[in-house]
Chains A and B, each alone.
Chain A
Amino acid sequence: MAVLPKKDVVIIGYGAAGGPISVELSKAGYSVVALERGEHRTLADFAPKAFDTLRWVTRREMVPTIEEMPLTFRSDLNEKATPVPYIMANTVGGASVHWSGQSWRYYEEDFRVKSTIEELYSSEQLAYLEEDGANIQDWPITYDDLEPYYEKTEYHVGVGGWPGNIQGEIRPVDPEEGNPFEAPRQRDFPFRPLRDNATDITFREGALNLGLNPFHVPTAITTEAYTNPDGVERAACSYCPFCTSHGCWNGSKSDTRVSLLPTAEATGNFELRSNSHVLRINHENGRAVSVDYIDLITGEQHTQPGEMFYLGAYSFQNVRLLLYSGITGGGQVGKYFINRSGPSVHAIFDDRYLNGYAGPAVQRQGLDDYNGENNVDEKLQMSLDDFFVRGAFIGSPSQRNPLQTYGARPPEVPSWGVAYKEYFTENLNRYIGLQLLQEPLPYETSYIDLDPNYTDKFGVPAARVQRQAKQNEIRMSRYIYQKGVEILEAAGAARVWGSDTPRPSATMTHDLGGLRMGSDPSMSATNRYGQLWEVPNILVGGGALAPTMSGHNPTETIWTLSYWTSAAVLEGKLDLEDSQAFS
Chain B
Amino acid sequence: MGEMDRQRRAVSAVDRRMFVKVSAGSMAAVALRSAYTMDALAQETSAEAGYQFFTAHEAETIDALAEQIWPTTETSPGGSDAGVVVYIDRALGGAYQRYQPIYQAGIQWLDDATNEQFGDTFVGLAPEQQFELMDAVFNADATPAASPAATPEPQVDGVPVAATPEDTAEIAPSDGKVQVAGGEGPHIASLKAFLDLVRVHTMEGLFSDPVYGGNRDFAGWRAVGYPGPYIVYGAEEQQSFEPLNQPLQSIADL
Q: Which residues of A contact B206 (CB under 8 A)?
A: 402
Q: How far is the CB of B140 from chain A (nearest CB, A)?
A: 14
Q: Which residues of A contact B176 (CB under 8 A)?
A: 453
Q: Which of A57, A403, A417, A433 has the most chain B CB atoms closer than 10 A to its own CB?
A: A403
Cβ of A322 under 8 Å from chain B:
no
- Cβ of A455 and Cβ of B181 under 8 Å apart? yes
Knowing A402-B224, A429-B225, the reply to whether A417 touches B244 (Cβ < 8 A) is no
By size class, the interface of chain A is: 35 or more
Q: Which residues of A contact B207 (CB under 8 A)?
A: 53, 401-403, 406
Per the 8 Å Cβ criterion, residues 368-425 of A in contact with B are: 395, 397, 399, 401-408, 414-418, 420-422, 424-425
**B153, B164, B171, B199: the one within 8 Å of A416 (CB):** B199
**A53, A61, A358, A437: the one within 8 Å of B158 (CB):** A437
Q: Which residues of A contact B225 (CB under 8 A)?
A: 425, 428-429
Mask for A150-188, Cβ within 8 A of B = 1, else 0?
000000000000000000000000000000000000000
Knowing A359-B238, A403-B162, A435-B158, the reply to whether A239 touches B153 (Cβ < 8 A) is no
Q: Which residues of A contact B2 (CB under 8 A)?
A: none
Q: Bound state CA distance, A54 and B161, in angstroms? A: 11
- Cβ of A344 and Cβ of B153 under 8 Å apart? yes
Q: Which residues of B contact A503 (CB under 8 A)?
A: 152
Cβ of B143 under 8 Å from chain A:
no
- Cβ of B243 and Cβ of A196 under 8 Å apart? no
Cβ of B89 under 8 Å from chain A:
no
Cβ of B235 under 8 Å from chain A:
yes
- Cβ of A429 and Cβ of B164 under 8 Å apart? no
Q: Which of A408, A462, A505 has the most chain B CB atoms closer than 10 A to its own CB?
A: A505
Cβ of B47 under 8 Å from chain A:
no
Pick from A83-91, A258-266, A276-284 the stretch touching chain B: A83-91
Mask for B205-240, Cβ within 8 A of A = 1, else 0?
011110010000000110111100111111101111
Mask for A485-513, Cβ within 8 A of B = 1, else 0?
00000000000000000011100111000
Q: How far is the CB of B170 from chain A (nearest CB, A)?
A: 8
Knowing A65-B33, A87-B154, the reply to whether A198 touches B241 (Cβ < 8 A) is yes
Pick from A241-249, A327-335, A538-546 the stretch touching chain B: A241-249
Q: How far is the CB of A283 from chain B (nearest CB, A)?
A: 25
By size class, the interface of chain B is: 35 or more
Name B96's closest neighbour in chain A (CB-CB).
Answer: A59
The total number of A-B Cβ pairs within 8 Å is 238
- Cβ of A429 and Cβ of B243 under 8 Å apart? yes
Cβ of A48 under 8 Å from chain B:
yes
Q: Bound state CA distance, A127 and B89, in angstroms? A: 58
Name B212's closest neighbour in chain A (CB-CB).
Answer: A54
Q: Which residues of A contact B95 (CB under 8 A)?
A: 59
Q: Which residues of B contact A340 (CB under 8 A)?
A: 158
Per the 8 Å Cβ criterion, residues 159-212 of B in contact with A are: 159-164, 166-167, 170-171, 173-174, 176-183, 196, 199, 203-204, 206-209, 212
Q: Bound state CA distance, A130 and B139, in angstroms? A: 42
Q: Bound state CA distance, A21 and B225, in angstroms? A: 46
Cβ of B151 under 8 Å from chain A:
yes
A sample of 11 inter-chain contacts (CB < 8 A) reads A48-B254, A59-B164, A66-B182, A67-B180, A198-B239, A402-B224, A403-B204, A452-B178, A457-B32, A457-B183, A553-B158
